Amino acid sequence: QVQLVESGGGLVQPRGSLRLSCAASGIIFRLATMAWYRQAPGKQRELVAQITSGATTNYADSVKGRFTISRDNAKNTAYLQMNSLKPEDTAIYYCHLGWGQNYRYWGQGTQVTVSS
């Protein structure tokens, strides 16, 4: 079965940095579109960043210029480098994998808290 395991979340100060990782197994990773979503308390889950199998990226306006999504196909892992973090970035961050048109998978989420 397909598994997505997030890591790297935690407590960080405003203006600090954090790198999230999403390790995938059970799928041909290089053919997948990877994305990071987040959900803050009382809010809808929103797309933060996406990277296709062709390495095309897109970002939410709120994180553009601060966050970078990347992938290492040799390690079956996607990353989200988060810099210049703000309290508004506090949320549970979820890894998402899309493979073709019919397969979509979610990680269990990792908490990111930005607070002084």
Q: Tell me, what's the pLDDT at 48?
A: 98
With bands split at pLDDT 50, 70 and 90, how would you rate the model's confidence at 40? very high
Q: What is the pLDDT of residue 33?
A: 98
Residue for token digits 């930005």? Answer: 114
Q: Tell me the average pLDDT across 66-78.
A: 98
Backbone angles phi, psi at 107, to 5 degrees: -80, 175
The stretch 29-48 carries a mean pLDDT of 97
Residue 105 pLDDT: 97
In which band, very low, low, confident or very high, does the pLDDT at 81 lie, cut at 50, 70 and 90?
very high
3-state helix, strand, coil in the chain (%, to 5): 10, 55, 40
Q: What is the Cα–Cα distance from 66 to 33, expressed in whole angstroms?
A: 21
Among all chains, which residue has been given the structure tokens 């506090």? 90
Report whether 61 contacts 49 (CB < 8 A): no
Residues 97-106 have pLDDT tens digits of 999 899 999 9
Give the pLDDT of residue 66: 98
91 contacts 47 by C-beta, under 8 angstroms: no
Mean pLDDT of the chain: 97
Q: What is the mean pLDDT of residues 37-41?
A: 97
* Tokens, residue 74: 């040799």
